[in-house]
């Protein structure tokens, strides 16, 4: 909805907005820069804007801050950053561009060369800026890029994460940070996860698990509220934001943009039950996420069955931005795409990401015809896209992860340590258990003979080490979450030891990746390529500059932070 001043008329959407006649808008609050949303991109933008001297306000729709960033792994993909070089890992602007070009493909308005170069050039600058402001970064090596076999792909990775953070430093704001996914209480870094999962399989895994356990125990004993990964990322950004004097209003949804003379000059928000008109003298930044929680938009723009229970995106990502920008004539693209992530819902009703469980040996994923359709160890976007594509032919949403007792004895699964399968997980329907493959198939509604045939064929691949159907284990990333003791292929292991288990796998996501097309400074563009004055957008409210690709861990957060940073600098240089 647009709100402009004075004479009321009705828009094509059946909502009311206002046609300016006098330019005498009365505001309830006056700011230079208003940021909608509180994820990593929003906070990075707010910090940069404040550094430039702008009086900055963050408006968060929900009562929690951090968005999907807070529940993520907290990785931030920044090619050619100084911390890589400090750690002795070389990179260059040209190498990064070569890899992005290979991953993303031909240019489109949403993935232009200007955007690619802006990301590569400003990423290292953004990292250094936040480091100077107090951010504690860590190189995330080794963590292979998802397409490391492409030209200039890096098998060690270009991603960053952050050091652990004592959330008590946030004072009362600690309770505002959205809760973490995964394994609560563990201070575990992304670079440790692969070895941690091998606690029962390797000496290195046992040592890593002991180190993580001791670290976590000590932090708890001495009274620290220590967070890692996504919670630490948001915690550190939030601390800097608050220390720099940025105002944050939780539970303050934006209702309308205020437009005067074709320029976005503020917003109308709801705060404490009343409508508040807020001036944004240098612009408004939409960093409110995509439309993952909007059933009607997903049904309109995306293919396949829509079930919001599979999404990892928290409440608030309702796609409000779409009406705001389209009413102003913004160009949009990629509305059919998402940052796919296969997920599972445990016996406690918690939606969990599914990454290593399907990548470890002694596992396959099958559709409703009991057929495999993708390498189980592939990246999560590619896995989700394969589910979506397969579902056009036969029902594949949801699919079934099939494992045996070797898998359960050897590797952690969701919240369960290796070798521990609580009866509640079975009674609650999270794990379906049976003594034979055929009986398991019957329990989950698959053809017993078909599943038996699929398992037997896969077991043959486990023996030879070559997946003749989908080449599982071919890339550095596919081998990242694997078992080095499993020979000859660390991702392949026969499914042969009873009991057998089936787990339902849904088409989840970390956010949608379609929205407004922007320029390299985050300014929202019209169809003719002109900018909408005063309006910026970053993150999942935009058409991702990475198109349909997902080059590395932290690609979505990295791009959001870089373009949030650039948008803030552009807004500071704009005329009030």
Q: Is the pLDDT of residue 241 over 50?
A: yes
Q: What average pLDDT does range 540-549 have in this prediction? A: 98
Q: Give CA–CA dist 237/133, Å, rounded.
A: 9
| pLDDT of the residue at 14 | 25
Rounded to the nearest angstrom, the gap between the alpha carbon of residue 303 and the centroid of all alpha carbons in its chain is: 20
Alpha helices in 29-160 (DSSP H): 40-51, 67-71, 82-86, 93-104, 113-133
| pLDDT of the residue at 306 | 85
Q: What average pLDDT does range 256-285 have in this prediction? A: 97
| pLDDT of the residue at 182 | 56
**Dihedral in degrees, nearest 10, Cα atoms 483, 489, 492, 493:** -80
* Of residues 249, 351, 367, 250, the one with CA closest to residue 293: 351
Q: Give CA–CA dist 399/388, Å, rounded.
A: 11
Q: Assign domain 1-140+162-179+228-337+514-576 one CATH number from 3.50.50.60, 2.60.120.590, 2.60.40.10, 3.20.20.140.
A: 3.50.50.60
The 10s digit of each residue's pLDDT in 42-64 is 999 999 999 999 999 999 999 99
Reported confidence tier of residue 525, pLDDT bands at 50, 70, 90: very high
| pLDDT of the residue at 25 | 83
The 10s digit of each residue's pLDDT in 146-164 is 999 999 999 999 999 999 9
Q: Is the pLDDT of residue 545 over 70?
A: yes
The answer to whether 46 and 567 have CB atoms below 8 angstroms apart is no
**Read out DSSP for 390-436?**
HTTTS--SSEEEEEEHHHHHHS-BTTBPTT---HHHHHTTSSEEESS
The 10s digit of each residue's pLDDT in 77-120 is 999 999 999 999 999 999 999 999 999 999 999 999 999 999 99
| Phi/psi of residue 433, nearest 5 degrees | -120, 145
Name the DSSP class of 450.
H
Name the DSSP class of 99.
H
The answer to whether 552 and 158 have CB atoms below 8 angstroms apart is yes
Q: Give CA–CA dist 52/574, Å, rounded.
A: 12
| Phi/psi of residue 458, nearest 5 degrees | -65, -40
Name the DSSP class of 310.
G
The 10s digit of each residue's pLDDT in 442-468 is 999 999 999 999 999 999 999 999 999
Report how far apart, in Å, the C-alpha atoms of 350 and of each of 183, 232, 346, 560 are.
Answer: 12, 21, 5, 27
Q: Give CA–CA dist 164/161, Å, rounded.
A: 10
Q: What percent of the chain clears pLDDT 90, i.e. is strictly above it?
A: 93
Name the DSSP class of 222.
T
Reported confidence tier of residue 184, pLDDT bands at 50, 70, 90: low
Q: Give CA–CA dist 470/459, Å, rounded.
A: 14
Q: Assign domain 340-509 one CATH number from 1.10.150.120, 3.90.700.10, 3.60.20.10, 3.30.300.130.
A: 3.90.700.10
Q: Give CA–CA dist 378/384, Å, rounded.
A: 10
Q: What is the pTM of this model?
A: 0.94
Q: What residues contact residue 509 under an 8 Å CB cut-off, 6+ apart?
A: 292, 310, 311, 312, 313, 338, 339, 340, 341, 384
530: its two tokens: 């002109």
The answer to whether 537 and 524 have CB atoms below 8 angstroms apart is yes
Considering only 103-117, 168-182, 190-204, 521-535, which range has the smallest mean pLDDT? 168-182
* Segments of 190-328 assigned E as strands: 226-227, 247-249, 254-260, 263-271, 274-280, 284-286
Q: How is the chain split into domains, by residue range?
A: 1-140+162-179+228-337+514-576, 340-509
**Dihedral in degrees, nearest 10, Cα atoms 343, 111, 78, 246:** -90
* Of residues 196, 190, 225, 200, the one with CA closest to residue 209: 196
- If one counts every other C-beta atom within 10 angstroms of the C-beta of residue 339, the result is 24
Mean residue pLDDT of the chain comes to 94
């Amino acid at each position: 909805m647009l709100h402009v001043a004075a004479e009321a008329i009705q828009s094509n959407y059946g909502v009311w907005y206002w046609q300016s006649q006098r330019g005498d808008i009365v505001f309830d609050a006056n700011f230079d820069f208003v940021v909608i949303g509180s994820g990593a991109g929003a906070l990075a933008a707010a910090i940069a804007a404040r550094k430039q001297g702008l009086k900055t306000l963050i408006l968060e729709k929900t009562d929690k801050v951090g968005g999907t960033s807070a529940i993520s792994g907290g990785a931030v993909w920044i090619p050619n950053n100084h911390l890589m070089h400090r750690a002795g890992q070389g990179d260059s602007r040209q190498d990064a561009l070569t890899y992005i070009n290979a991953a993303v493909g031909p240019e489109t308005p949403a993935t232009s060369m200007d955007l690619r170069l802006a990301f590569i050039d400003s990423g290292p600058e953004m990292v250094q800026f936040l480091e100077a402001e107090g951010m504690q970064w860590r190189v995330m090596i080794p963590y292979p890029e998802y397409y490391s076999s492409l030209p200039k792909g890096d098998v060690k990775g270009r991603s960053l994460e952050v050091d652990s953070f004592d959330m008590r430093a946030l004072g009362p704001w600690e309770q505002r940070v959205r809760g973490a996914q995964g394994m609560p209480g563990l201070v575990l870094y992304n670079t440790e996860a692969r070895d941690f999962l091998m606690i029962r399989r390797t000496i290195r895994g046992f040592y890593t698990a002991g180190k993580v356990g001791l670290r976590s125990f000590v932090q708890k004993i001495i009274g620290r509220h220590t967070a890692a990964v996504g919670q630490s990322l948001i915690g550190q950004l939030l601390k800097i934001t608050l220390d720099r004097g940025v105002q944050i209003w939780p539970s303050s949804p934006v209702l309308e943009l205020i437009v005067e003379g074709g320029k976005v000059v503020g917003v109308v928000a709801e705060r404490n039950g009343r409508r508040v008109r807020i001036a944004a003298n240098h612009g408004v930044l939409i960093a409110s996420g995509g439309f993952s929680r909007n059933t009607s938009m997903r049904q309109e723009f995306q293919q396949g069955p829509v079930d919001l229970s599979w999404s990892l995106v928290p409440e608030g990502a309702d796609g409000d931005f779409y009406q705001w920008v389209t009413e102003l004539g913004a160009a949009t693209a990629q509305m059919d795409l998402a940052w796919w992530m296969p997920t599972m819902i445990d016996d406690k009703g918690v939606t969990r990401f599914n990454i290593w469980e399907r990548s470890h040996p002694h596992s396959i994923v099958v559709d409703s015809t009991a057929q495999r359709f993708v390498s189980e160890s592939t990246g999560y976007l590619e896995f989700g896209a394969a589910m979506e594509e397969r579902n056009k032919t036969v029902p594949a949403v949801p699919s079934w992860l099939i494992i045996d007792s070797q898998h359960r004895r050897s590797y952690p699964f969701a919240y369960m340590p290796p070798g521990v399968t609580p009866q509640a997980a079975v009674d609650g329907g999270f794990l379906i258990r049976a003594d034979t493959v055929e009986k398991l198939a019957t329990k989950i509604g698959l053809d017993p003979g078909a599943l038996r045939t699929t398992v037997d064929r896969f077991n043959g691949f486990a023996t030879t080490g070559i997946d003749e159907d989908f080449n599982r284990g071919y890339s550095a990333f596919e081998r990242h979450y694997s078992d080095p003791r499993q020979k000859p292929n660390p991702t392949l292991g026969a499914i042969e030891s009873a009991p057998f288990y089936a787990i339902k796998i849904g088409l989840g996501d970390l956010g949608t990746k379609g929205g407004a097309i922007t320029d390299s400074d985050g300014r929202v563009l019209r169809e003719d390529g002109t900018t909408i004055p005063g309006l910026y957008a970053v993150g999942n409210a935009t058409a991702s500059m990475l198109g349909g690709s997902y080059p590395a861990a932290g690609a979505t957060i990295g791009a959001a932070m870089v373009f949030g940073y650039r948008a803030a600098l552009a807004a500071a240089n704009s005329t009030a």
